[in-house]
């Protein structure tokens, strides 16, 4: 049963405010159980999130009421009415019209807490990350590599650096076995053996705590061990790049990526904010 307290915890809206929204009719009165307790539904969660988002964008309670009517699937306004995208650059500002907007801004490599920015500590994401590594390996300037994260990218990099370039590779993973997101420990052990047969040293159960880079290389402190390398490659996953979406008021899901429906899409109404004249999507219901 979804009590008012649980609804409050799920939405971050305090109970008194929920009570107030109920009183002024912004959210419907909840059903009652046989013993008389209020029982809220998923629809209440959606409606409340919508209201909170709209309030955060600066709409008054009366305006929120209008927005609710406007975004009601039963109303005439089911298609985006405002379809304008502003592209800003130093040189110019252009306004483009669109029918459907696809946000494909990708992801950025995840950075470990306290990870220093240093040329001896690199991501493996785009060519600019990879090029100096390749040149260093080809010239023999990089001999020892620590790869942090035994996910798909980390395992591939570790094996390639050892097999292709003869580097001395240590693969460091926090979980007990490699590829923990996709393999159980039994199969993970097979991967460990495979990597070891390609001269990769696999150090598992060892979360990286700290880096100490210097001009010659980097020392990595992980699970009680100190690992020294010429360079550390950090491959601990990616974070969705959602700055643009966030700035447009598009709601995010629990992973921090854009919240989508079962078709990986959002049906969005756009409207112009009176104050700024800018266009914003109405928060998803």
Ligand X SMILES: Cc1cc2nc3c(=O)[nH]c(=O)nc-3n(C[C@H](O)[C@H](O)[C@H](O)COP(=O)(O)OP(=O)(O)OC[C@H]3O[C@@H](n4cnc5c(N)ncnc54)[C@H](O)[C@@H]3O)c2cc1C
Residues in contact with ligand X by CB under 6 A are 104-107, 124-125, 153, 241, 244
Q: Tell the smallest beta-carbon distance from residue 94 to ligand X (Å).
A: 13
Q: Tell the smallest beta-carbon distance from residue 157 to ligand X (Å).
A: 7
Tokens of 111: 């950075």
Strand, helix or coil at 42? helix
Q: Tell the smallest beta-carbon distance from residue 235 to ligand X (Å).
A: 8
- In the block, residue with structure tokens 């790049």: 241
Name which of 32 and 94 has its Cβ closer to ligand X: 94
Name which of 132 and 223 has its Cβ closer to ligand X: 132
Name which of 52 and 157 has its Cβ closer to ligand X: 157
- The count of other CB atoms within 10 Å of the CB of residue 8 is 18
Residues 253, 242 contacting (CB under 8 angstroms): no
- In the block, residue with structure tokens 């699970």: 223
Name which of 118 and 125 has its Cβ closer to ligand X: 125
Q: Tell the smallest beta-carbon distance from residue 87 to ligand X (Å).
A: 8
Q: Which residue is nearest to ligand X (CB)?
A: 106
Buried b (16+ CB within 10 A) or exposed e, 30-40: beeeeeeebeb
Q: Tell the smallest beta-carbon distance from residue 42 to ligand X (Å).
A: 30
Please provide the distance, in angstroms rounded to a whole number, between the alpha carbons at the two ends of the chain: 21
Name which of 58 and 106 has its Cβ closer to ligand X: 106
Which residues have C-beta within 8 Å of that of residue 188, sequence separation ≥ 6?
175, 176, 177, 178, 179, 180
């Amino acid at each position: 049963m979804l009590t008012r307290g649980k609804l409050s915890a799920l939405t971050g809206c305090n109970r008194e405010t929920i009570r107030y929204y109920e009183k002024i009719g912004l959210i419907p009165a909840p059903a009652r159980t046989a013993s008389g307790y209020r029982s809220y539904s998923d629809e209440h969660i959606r409606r409340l999130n919508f209201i909170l988002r709209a309030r955060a964008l600066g709409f008054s309670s009366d305006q929120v009421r209008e927005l609710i009517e406007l975004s009601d699937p039963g109303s005439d306004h089911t298609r985006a009415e405002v379809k304008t995208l502003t592209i800003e650059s130093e040189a110019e500002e252009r306004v483009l019209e669109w029918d459907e907007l696809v946000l494909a801004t990708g992801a950025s490599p995840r950075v470990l807490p306290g990870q220093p920015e240093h040329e001896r500590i690199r991501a493996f994401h785009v060519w600019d990350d990879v090029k100096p590594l390749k040149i260093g390996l080809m010239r023999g300037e990089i001999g020892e590599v620590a790869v942090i994260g035994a996910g798909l990218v980390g395992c591939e990099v570790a094996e390639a650096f050892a097999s292709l370039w003869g580097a001395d590779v240590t693969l460091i993973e926090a979980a007990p076995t490699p590829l923990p997101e996709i393999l159980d420990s039994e199969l993970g052990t097979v991967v460990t053996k495979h990597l070891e047969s390609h001269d990769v040293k696999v150090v598992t159960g060892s979360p990286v705590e700290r880096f100490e880079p210097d001009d010659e290389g980097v020392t990595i402190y992980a699970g009680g061990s100190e690992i020294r390398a010429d360079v550390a490659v950090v491959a601990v996953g990616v974070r969705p790049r959602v700055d643009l979406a966030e700035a447009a008021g598009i709601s995010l899901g629990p992973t921090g990526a854009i919240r989508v429906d079962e078709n990986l899409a959002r049906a969005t109404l756009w409207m112009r904010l009176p104050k700024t004249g800018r266009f914003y999507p109405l928060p998803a219901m």
